[in-house]
Chains A and B, each alone.
Chain A
């Protein structure tokens, strides 16, 4: 399952770097595309603004198939307060921009599963694929606009992963 999670994250990160190269974040003094896996970073008091945070939540498995089909829910959370230059009055526009980027980086809804635990990363046998995004409502918390998008990610467990 970890290979599928890694593949999903790296796929979205690579696509984001193409869709909007300007969306970057500074983490541990390194600038990188503005998307990260929540459970692979230090705990944060508040989510990073203007970046996408991936949270893995529900897990299910269909074991009645020739290969186990795992079904993992990924919640993509993001928030924005707009820009300082505009005193935050553009936060609605900023959120819309992130919504559009989510749509762009999720499509196509599949990617070759990769094993990133080795260098260079190795292509595996199957595809990781996911549902279309399910957008939650925009939630206002003080000066921030927040949204959570739910995506269900599927992957077959391969022999090499057992």
Chain B
């Protein structure tokens, strides 16, 4: 007895159309990146990556470079290279985000990325946003897509508005931000002990789809919060946009996964467990019909090492290949 026969082809060239980018936060406190295991998750639907990966869509001008250096052990007369040694392990990757969003803008900027909190009446002007309107406290029963608020508090928001959801700053130092470590506070004085500071840098943002009234009043969100179900200690503030700066001392760190889908069903992944930005914010324009231009976010990163638990090697990138079903390997 035999099963259906496969008539294999010789190995074929990989032909891809484009590169898709996925990102996930790194736990900076415990120095724990998000690891992608292609043996377990390599066949995920491109539109629905496994948690906690966030799909940031098709990217362009994807270029990755190995910057590792090799040296030779030269002996004898005449001298010949007897062995090679790996002197440094280093790699960079760069690309352009086609779409602007909180995440893509923050990734491309590399430093603190702030939310522009709707300013309080009469607040003094400031380059990265002025003192915001008072936050409102979450009531019990919130989820990643629903913010439970007292009816009087919910009335202060409108469908279509943007909100930031996070805890008050209470004098702590170190990494702050729910879901993603968004900044590193050196001292309370450095952030003016501003109770809104964490909400100002937080990645826990969303657009309000509609207002819920009645017994369970609150805000129905059009997208889930990156930190998941909010805690009861969190507050909500309206925001009107985002801002980054050329400057700052903080380096964001992200785990990244890039996917090229071949035309025969094969998949090529590039997984960088730890990426930090190597450049400040920059954009590049692609001409449409003059004078219209599509503005893309330029991003470039250096890969930092992790230890591969299979053999203890320090590596900065994993490249994996999942062949199509019909080819010899």
Q: Which residues of A pack against B, CB within 8 Å?
A: 64-66, 71, 129, 131-132, 152, 154
Contacts and interface: CB of A to CB of B under 8 A. Distances in A.
B88 interface: no
A131 B57 contact: no
B98 A131 contact: no
Contacts of A66: 57, 98-99
Contacts of B292: 129, 131, 152, 154
A64 B291 contact: no
Going nearest first, the 10 A-B pairs with the smallest beta carbon separation are A131-B289, A152-B289, A64-B58, A66-B57, A66-B99, A64-B18, A65-B98, A131-B292, A65-B99, A132-B291
B288 interface: yes
Interface of B: 17-18, 57-58, 60, 98-99, 288-292
14 contacts: A64-B18, A64-B98, A65-B57, A65-B98, A65-B99, A131-B288, A131-B289, A131-B290, A131-B291, A131-B292, A152-B288, A152-B289, A152-B292, A154-B292
A152 B288 CA distance: 9
Contacts of B60: 64
B292 to A, nearest CB: 6
A84 to B, nearest CB: 39
Contact of B288 (A64, A65, A154): A154
Contact of B58 (A65, A71, A132, A152): A65
A132 B289 CA distance: 8
A129 B17 CA distance: 28
B105 to A, nearest CB: 14
Contacts of A154: 288, 292
B132 to A, nearest CB: 27
A112 B35 CA distance: 43
Contacts of A132: 290-291
A64 B98 CA distance: 9
